[in-house]
Amino acid sequence: MDFLPINLRLRDQPVVLIGAGVVAARKARFLLGAGAQLTVVAPEQDSQFRALAETHELVWHAREYAPGDLGGAIMVIAATPDREVNAAVYAEAKSRGIPVNVVDSPNLCSFIFPAIVDRSPLTVAISSSGASPVLARSVRSRIEAMLPAATADIARFARLHRDRIRAAGDTEDERRHIWEQVIDGPVAQLILSNRWQAAEQALAELLESHRTSPVGEVYLIGAGPGDPELMTFKALRLLQRADIVLHDRLVNPDIVAMARRDADKLYVGKQRSDHSVPQDRINELLVELAQQGNRVARLKGGDPFVFGRGGEEIELLAQEKIPFQVVPGITAGNAAACYAGIPLTHRDYAQSVRFVTGHTKDGKLQHRWEEFLSETETLVFYMGLVGLPIICRELIAHGRPGDTAVALIERATLPSQRLLTGTLGTIESLVESASPQAPTLIIVGKVVDLADRLRWYGSG
């Protein structure tokens, strides 16, 4: 992090601005909007600056900058086209220990101006550390689209009731839970609808219900195949609300890091012959943690209901009457196929798709192989790397041609994704020489031949 983002109170504080052009006018608007006592040093004023000076109170010295002009200031901005003047302002400010910003000169800045989304009293600052102001503005526009103007009303409501909510919770965790229910629940929606009286009543009911014993909640979240950008908005929102996060081996660490910093993260991953926490214990743990009043995020790779044993985990929750939510995730079959340029269905090649577990038990795969013979159906095998020889042998033995196209996708959607293509007769030898590692996904069918033309991601 090149610059530490902070919020600085400037109301009634002396700030010096050197320059009075178009750029200086933009900086002056920020400073005056924050209530600064602004002194401007410049021989001439741009028309935009003159208009600003007519509607705001500021001091203007109509002359060139001179040493000593920065005395008493708590902040300095230089916005002139003269590099020598800007350098001299920087040098004086540095010698006086005053924070200084020289416009468009990151090497002459001890602070920089971020792009700002203003929903006062809520403000959002975005900075590229001076590397790309255009990128920062682009991100700002996206955030502005996400935050309605009435978000400011929610912030004002929160400020109005801050002490009341603080008194309602005995611990920091309790107070955070209340705030999250206010911000993400009916109270906020009423405020956004300009129904303040109803919002006040909803808050009173919320605080009253909080006095009873709190009951936790479990969020069963599909984390997708690996790429954090494939997480849904709801998945991210619930993950960041959780007090405790239980995560699998296949969940990208970057996704786990999206949880609150103060949330407890518990690894409960499983892999072949190595179950760090048995499934029955995971089920019990979800119940125990929720009964203690915690909000628990159970992060599972892919989709929790596609070979994810999610149904087993919520069954005990339902039995114990623990509130829970299930958030779908992009399952590995869909993601791997898309990132490899292999459409699972195609009018000319495949009219159906079948998801099949490739996980072996006692060295065997128990399937009705005779059902897998249609050449117009795509087969997708999950967890099939170890069982690949069995898959190829059984499909051929039951009538699939040996030249049927096969793809093996390793670490789908991640930068290290690798694609191997062959046939039922050749893929084993290709895998032996390439030595792919789990997680991998196997696709069988004519659609694999489209990968050469439609592939767009990865290099292997």
Positions annotated as catalytic residues are: 248, 270
Measured CA to CA in angstroms, residue 148 lies from 139, 142, 184 at distances of 16, 12, 14
Q: Report yes or no: 21 and 49 within 8 Å, Cβ to Cβ.
A: yes
Closest listed residue to residue 114, CA positions, set 125, 101, 100, 105: 125
Binding residue ranges: 22-23, 43-44, 225, 301-303, 306, 331-332, 383, 412
Q: Please tell me the distance from the alpha carbon of residue 60 to that of residue 19, in angstroms, as a whole number.
A: 10
Partners of 220 in the β-ladder: 298, 326
DSSP SS3 for 56: coil
**Which amino acids are annotated as binding site for NAD(+), given as ranges?**
22-23, 43-44
Taking each helix axis from N to C end, the angle separating 172-184 and 196-210, rounded to the nearest 10 degrees, works out to 150
Q: At what angle do helices 172-184 and 151-160 cross, to 10 degrees?
A: 140
What angle in degrees, to the nearest 10, is found between the helix axes of 47-55 and 22-33? 20
3-state secondary structure of 79: coil
Cα–Cα dist 134/97, whole Å: 30
Tokens 């052009």: give the residue: 21
Helices and strands of the chain, counted as H and E runs: 17, 19
CB 27 within 8 A of CB 4: no
Q: What is the rounded CA–CA span in Å between residue 255 and residue 246?
A: 12
Do residues 393 and 419 lie in contact, with contact meaning Cβ atoms separated by under 8 Å?
Answer: no
Rg of the chain taking only CA atoms, in angstroms: 30
Distance in Å from the first CA to the final CA of the chain: 33
Strands (E), 270-335: 270-271, 274-275, 295-300, 324-327
Structure tokens at 349: 């090649």
Distance CA 224, CA 232 (A): 9
Q: Give kind and range of the element (H or E) at residue 435.
A: none
Distance (Å, whole) CA 79 – CA 103: 5
Give the pairing type, strands 440-444 and 405-410: antiparallel
Detail the residues annotated as belonging to a binding site for S-adenosyl-L-methionine. 225, 301-303, 306, 331-332, 383, 412
**Tokens standing for 395?**
């499909």
Positive or negative torsion for Cα 217, 330, 227, 236: negative
